[in-house]
Amino acid sequence: MLFGEPCEQDFAASAAVALHCGFSSEVYFIRRFRELYGRSPGRYRLERKN
């Protein structure tokens, strides 16, 4: 899984995704994700389900 690619495991917590993508901080991952997609990873995941 790469940053910005869809996650096949929708249930994965932001912390696990952040570590898997090479981020040492969940907070930094969420901040960068929000800058790129305009929403938090959790909100993005919810919107993709609907």
Q: Which helix (H) or strand (E) holds 5?
A: none
For residue 38, give its domain range.
Answer: 14-49
In a domain, 8, yes or no: no
The pTM of this model reads 0.71
Has residue 30 been placed in a domain?
A: yes
Q: What is the pLDDT of residue 19?
A: 87
Residue 38 in any domain: the answer is yes
Q: 33 lies in a domain?
A: yes
pLDDT given for residue 39 in this prediction: 95
Assess contact for 13 and 29: CB atoms under 8 A.
Answer: no
Using DSSP's 3-state secondary structure scheme, residue 19 falls into: helix
pLDDT given at position 25: 92
Domain assignment of residue 2, yes or no: no
Residue 3 included in any domain: no
What dihedral angle (degrees, nearest 10) is formed by the CA atoms of 27, 29, 35, 36? -160
At residue 49, the pLDDT reads 81
6 occurs within a structural domain: no
**Per-residue pLDDT reduced to its tens digit, 1-50:** 555 555 555 557 888 888 888 999 999 999 999 999 999 988 988 888 87
